[in-house]
Each structure stands twice: as C-alpha cells, then as structure tokens.
Structure 1
Amino acid sequence: MKPRIIILMHYLELGGAEMSLIGLLNALDPAKVDVDLFIYCHRGPLMKFIPKWVNLLPENTAYAVIESPIAVALKRGHLGVVAGRLMAKLKCQQFRRHYPAKGDDAAIMQYVGNYVTPWLPRINPDVEYDLCISYLTPHNIGRDKVRAKKRLAWIHTDYSTVDIDVVRELPVWGAYDHIASISHDVTSSFLNAFPSLSDRIIEIENILSADFVHSRAERSVELPETVRLLSIGRYCTAKNYDNVPDICRRLRLQGVDAKWYIIGFGGSEELIRQRIAEAGMEEHVILLGKKDNPYPYIKACDIYVQPSRYEGKSITVREAQILCKPVVVTNYPTASSQIKNGVDGVIVPLDNEGCARGLADFIADTALQQRIVDYLRIHDYANTSEVEKIYSLLK
C-alpha cells in the first residue's frame, strides 16, 4: 500500500505559504503517496488549484471559525472555541505585561493554539497516517488532533523579526519528529530561539510549479510605457509598502519616470494610501488590490521589487525569477539566502534613500539587467526536486 499523508492548512488565500503548498501538492506523485488535505476554512482563490487527485476532507465548522469574528463563532454555536480565544487573548496580554513585544507580536497565535485546540474534534480519527504535515503555525492541531506515525512541522517565518513566547511554543515544536525550514537563514533564526531542536531540522526549499506560473501569465495586461515596478504581497508591516511612496518620490527626484504597482490586500491599506497622499505620489504608486491571477502583471513589469522589512523566503520573488524578470530586494535579514546579489537579482539598502538610490542605479544599468535575465533563463527556480525529501521521511 502507498504511504498516506495528511496536510493541515488554515485556508488558501493569496499568500506565500499558500502558494508553496499548492506547489508541494503539484509536485507530489499520486503513484507514490495518497494525500488527504484538511483546510480549516474552505476559503481563498487558491482552493480551485488543489490537484484533483488530492482528497480534500470536508470542512468542519469548529475549525472554520478559529480565525472568524467572535460573533460568527457564537452564531454557529462553537462556545468552546470562543472561550478558548478569549482565554488566549487574556493570557497573552498577561504575558506581554511582563515581556513587552520588541518586534511583531506573534505570541498570540501560540496562545490561540494552546487554548482553542482542546475544544476541537479529532480529524479523521479512524485513520492512522504515515505522515502528518502541519504547514503553518500554531502546530497544536497536527500534534493533538491527528493520529500519525511521524509528524512534520513547517517554518515559514524569520524568527529574528517576531516576538514569541518560547516557553509555550517549544513543547509544540518538540512534539514533531521533523521540522522543515525553507532556508539556511530561517533555520539559523529559528535555532536561536529553539537551540535544542537542531537535530529535527530539514531544509526544504519552497516548491513551485513553473508550468502553473507560465500558463497563468499568458493573459496580457497593458501597463503604461514608463519604468514599471511591481510588488506583490499582503498590505502589512512586514512588506514595508507604507514606505514605497517615499521611495518612489525619491526615485523620481533622481529623474526616473517610474510607476510602482502593488498587488495585495490587508490591514495596512489605509496607512499606505495616507503615505501616498503625503508624498504626492497618487499618479505614481498604484494599489491594484487583490488579484486572483497576478502573473500577467509580473510578465508585464520591467522590474519586480520586494521592499520588505523581513521575509522568510519570498514566493513572489521566485515566481518573478521563473518568469525571467529582474528582481530587486531590500537588505532584510534573510535577503542573501533569497538572492545572489548581482547574479540572479540585486540587493539594495533597506532605508528609503538607499533603496531609491539602489533602484535608480539598477534601472540605469540595462547591461546588468540583461545578464540577470540571461542567468534566470537557464536556471531552475521551481525546486521540484525538493519533494524527494518528503518521500525520504516515509522510508
């Protein structure tokens, strides 16, 4: 009999972790493994790209309301989930009174995992899986609600940039046989927080489907004949889009006629629009909003820019490289594990002035742009061979 895997994921909105999951599912071979997929809430435009051979388990409403508004969870009768979420918020607030967050506060998700998971039903309780893959934190559900011979938890975050409650999170990671890290830098930052788990780490690059990216990029999109810059990602602190208007203003002061398009959605949209108005960049920084298919825009742009404050390992950078686009990333902590500077992209300073200057220099250096494009054409950025590391866990 073929080994049987279950993969757990929150939802399939447009995000890096979600796209890498679609890539993994497309890379797995149905002749080698059977795969059950449990999505907590069946929402998001990527749901339709789940391969037909993958067995999508039915949605369970208790799981579907974990991240819904409290009123929705109450209306659906999941009082235990509501109680768990309220307790998680209270306990996290108590923790933060003693240990204030210095970076992004990621501790709350672990508190939710600890206090909500006991109220959830078991997943497919009659089946013992050969491997349970928990794809996104918190990993309590994969630990407590699935019967499995082996367990694999995934890291998608640069742990040097987020504040967590190590004492609460360590036992959850420690319950897994293996921990998948998407890059060497992500591994290093994770082990700074959890040094005792070094023997569990397996580095598995994000897997993408080049055919998927190329086929969806075929639809044409018309963008004005200027220098066309593009960024894609959630409107959030990590992506640093609130600084794009000032960077673009500085770029134009250096004589570069550029329009900067941003595809995405999220809670920082109002702040970004405010910064656009303050910089007077209404005609030059354009928020395109949520796009189910961003690939034609990547194909139509001149340069793809990732101006982030921090990243695990950007999926959209890889997608732009698959489409042979020159890529610029800011010098966030894991940038060097994403880009070989001057070879398959360019790393520029993170501060606004340095970023604008680096972008202007790169825009002017068409010879370097062409060398990068030529390099991208003959190298594989889909990483499909990484799936062999999953198979090796099943032997």
Structure 2
Amino acid sequence: MKKNILVASFDLEIGGVERSLISMLNNFDFKSYTVDLMLYSHTGEFMKLLPNKANLLAESKAYKTFRMPVLDVIKSGQLSLAFSRLLAKYLANKNHSSENGYKQMQYMWKYSVPFLPKLNKKYDVAISYLWPHYFVAEKVDAKIKIAWIHTDFSTVETDIELDVKLWSKFNYIVAVSDECKHAFISKYSELEDRVIVMENITTPELINTLANEEADNPMVEDARFKIITVARLSYAKGIDSAVKALKMLNDRGYKNICWYVVGYGGDEQQIKDLIEENNLTDQFILLGKKINPYPFIKEADLYVQPSRYEGKAVTVVEAQVLSKPVIITNYPTAKSQVKDGFDGSICELSVQGIADGIEKLYLDSRMREQLVTNCKDTVFSNLNELNKLYSLI
C-alpha cells in the first residue's frame, strides 16, 4: 500500500527554493508514494512545471493572505489575520534591527495560527519545504514531520526561543548542505540529532536541454565580457554590492565588462537607482523574470553569486552544469558550494572582494578555461539524494 505524503510550500514564483522543489517533485517515486502538494498560493511561472502525478490541493483563502498587502487582507474579510500581521510588524520593529523581516514572518505566523484552518486528511509523512514551518507543525496530522533548511540560519536574526519550539515539532530537519547543517546547529545546538543533509536535486540533462531553447536574449549580440547572476533582487543576494563592484572595475579602467541579472524582487527600484547613480545603465542590465534562465547563463563568460548569505545556491550548481567559470562570495556556507580553485572561485565577501575576484579571472583566461574543464569533468547529477528522503519516510 502506498504511503501518503504531504509537501507544503508557499507558491511557485521563480526562485531557487521553488526550482529545487520542482526538481524534487519531477524526480519523485510516485509508484511507491502518493503525494499531495499544499501551496498557500497557486501563483508563479513554475506552476506549469508541476508533475501531473502530484495532487495539488485546493487553494485556501486564509493561507493565500500571507503575501498580500494588509489592506487587501482587510478587504477580503480576514480581519483576524490582518490584525496578526500588524501585531507582527509592531513586535519586529520594536527591536530596531537592520533586517527584521525574519522575525516579522515568525510573529506573523505565530499569531495567525489560531485563525488558520487545519487539513482534515491524515498523512504518513508531512514535509514543510519553506520556513516558517507553522502550517505543517500546527495544522497537519502526520506520523512523521520533516522540515527543510535552505538558508544559513546563523546569519539571520530570528526569535530563537520561538524557533526552537517550532523546530522541535519535527522528527527530522533537512539541510541542503553540510555547511548549512553546521550553521544551523551552531544556533540551535539542542536540535543537532534531528538534522540530516540532503542536497538540492540537480538534473544536468534537463538543464542542458533548456539552455538550448530559443530566447529573446540581448546577450547574444553583446561582444563585451559578460557576467551573469540569477537571483532575487534582495538584500541577501547582494545585487547592490554587484553594482558597486562593477563601478569599481570601471574606475580601474575595465570598460569592456557588462553584468546581466536575471531575477526580480522588492529591491528592484533601489537597484535601478544605484545603477543610474553610478552611470552604469548600459553596463549593468536587469533582465527581469525569466522562467528559463539557462540560455542566459549559457551566453555568459562568467557567473557571479554576490550573496551575503546562502544555504546552497541552486543557480551556482546550474552554472557549473553549463560549464561556466563561477565566482561566489565567501559567505559562511561557501565551501560546501565550490571547491576554491577547482570548480569555481571564492572571493572575499565585500564590494572590493567581488571586484578583485572578477578582475583576476577576467585577466587570467587560462584559469577560466581550467575551471570550465573541471566542471565538464564533474558529475553533478545527484538523484541518489532522494534515497535519503525515502529512508526517512
């Protein structure tokens, strides 16, 4: 008899977490397991990539409110949830921290839980794929509960007491890399026995096929040295640092370098303003949302991930699959992502560090070629990682 599995996440907008979820579901063993998928919002370009064998549960009006503006939540009649949002914002802002978004999300879910509906069905296993994990922790009846870690929790400010209570409701906690696991344990040492590592699923054949699709791509006709980044326009991803690094390279006389970014996010206007302030309109180019970023990565000379922190960036592995030289900043989990000097380069996590790293590879074509060769010789397929999940189930 098949076991019943629930997988829960927010939506399928374009992003690394969402891409890794789609990859996992498209390689899932549906012969052995029945899978229900609970998306709080049925939105996003990746919706069309969902496998038919995954049963998408009906959208819930209550859960859909979590990324709606508070005024829209009030208009929808969800007054208790709107009040919870306002209370969460007030409590998070009391701390006057530079990045209180994580605490605000924690409080928002905590105070919303009493007003959220439960799932009636009982499951053998329930997987919460995206933090905060309140839905699976509080509103799902399952014999085994598993939560995913996609970020470096040692670098973000959260209410630790609240987090420990929440994480403790899960039998297993899955980190996407060894470094991600160690960072988590450094903050929540009492949960160490529950944490295992399971990497994001990578399917090189699909990535290479999609990279050859036709796209409206300005990079094709651009004869300059082309850098590419695929990321959300957010503080964590460091796109502002990328703009400043390109300005620094310009000031050093490297006028032949351009930087393309595939992605979207809340910091878009701030990034656009920064580009204009630094007179980089023709060199730092925002391409916006792309459901298929691979043709753009394929056309680049160099992939750069200027993040302030990561769990394990899906797009970095994808760039390596496409045999691109890669630079990543030295965020705490960087060494689990790239073997420095072998299949990529790790630079100092600063504007100058990014600029120096790019300058080094720009001038050293032999090193770039060696990184490309090493990526071509590396096997990035890791479908066997799913066996770790099956063993938990």
User: TM-score, normalised to structure 1's length?
Assistant: 0.94
Instruction: Work out whether 1:191 is the aligned partner of 2:166.
Output: no
Shift of 1:103: 5.1
Shift of 1:87: 2.8
Alpha-carbon distance in structure 2 between the residues aligned to 1:81 and 1:349 = 43
1:158-173 paired onto structure 2 within 5 Å: 158-173=152-167
Instruction: Work out whether 1:155 is the aligned partner of 2:154.
Output: no
Instruction: State the match for 1:5 in structure 2.
Output: 5
Q: Which amino acid aligns with 2:225?
A: V
Q: Which amino acid aligns with 2:239?
A: Y
Shift of 1:201: 0.2
Instruction: Work out whether 1:143 is the aligned partner of 2:137.
Output: yes
Shift of 1:256: 5.5
Instruction: Work out whether 1:106 is the aligned partner of 2:102.
Output: yes
Shift of 1:245: 2.4
Shift of 1:163: 0.5
Instruction: State the match for 1:238 in structure 2.
Output: 236
Alpha-carbon distance in structure 2 between the residues aligned to 1:120 and 1:290 = 32
Q: State the SS of the aligned residue for 1:150.
A: strand
Q: Percent identity?
A: 38
Per-residue CA deviations over 1:320-346 (Å, capped at 9, x if unaligned) read 111111111111221111110011111
The 8 Å contact of residues 105 and 162 in structure 1, kept in 2 or not, is answered as no
Alpha-carbon distance in structure 2 between the residues aligned to 1:319 and 1:223 = 23
1:380-395 paired onto structure 2 within 5 Å: 380-394=379-393
1:1-395 paired onto structure 2 within 5 Å: 1-94=1-94, 96=95, 100-101=96-97, 105-123=101-119, 125=120, 127-220=121-214, 221=217, 222-252=220-250, 253-255=252-254, 257-394=256-393
Alpha-carbon distance in structure 2 between the residues aligned to 1:354 and 1:344 = 19
Per-residue CA deviations over 1:223-278 (Å, capped at 9, x if unaligned) read 40110100111111111111222211222324361110011111212221222122
Alpha-carbon distance in structure 1 between the residues aligned to 2:91 and 2:248 = 44
Shift of 1:140: 1.1
Shift of 1:105: 4.2
Q: Which amino acid aligns with 1:231?
A: T
Shift of 1:102: 5.6
Runs of 4+ in 1 over 6 A off after TM superposition: none
Comparing 314-323 with 275-284, greater Cα deviation is found at 275-284
Comparing 112-121 with 146-155, greater Cα deviation is found at 112-121
Alpha-carbon distance in structure 2 between the residues aligned to 1:35 and 1:210 = 24
Alpha-carbon distance in structure 2 between the residues aligned to 1:356 and 1:187 = 30
Name the Cα RMSD after superposition: 1.6
Alpha-carbon distance in structure 1 between the residues aligned to 2:258 and 2:33 = 46
Q: State the SS of the aligned residue for 1:163.
A: coil
Shift of 1:174: 0.4
Q: 1:103 to 1:160 in 2, by over 3 A?
A: farther
User: TM-score, normalised to structure 2's length?
Assistant: 0.95
Alpha-carbon distance in structure 2 between the residues aligned to 1:143 and 1:63 = 15
Q: How many residues align?
A: 388
The 8 Å contact of residues 254 and 360 in structure 1, kept in 2 or not, is answered as no
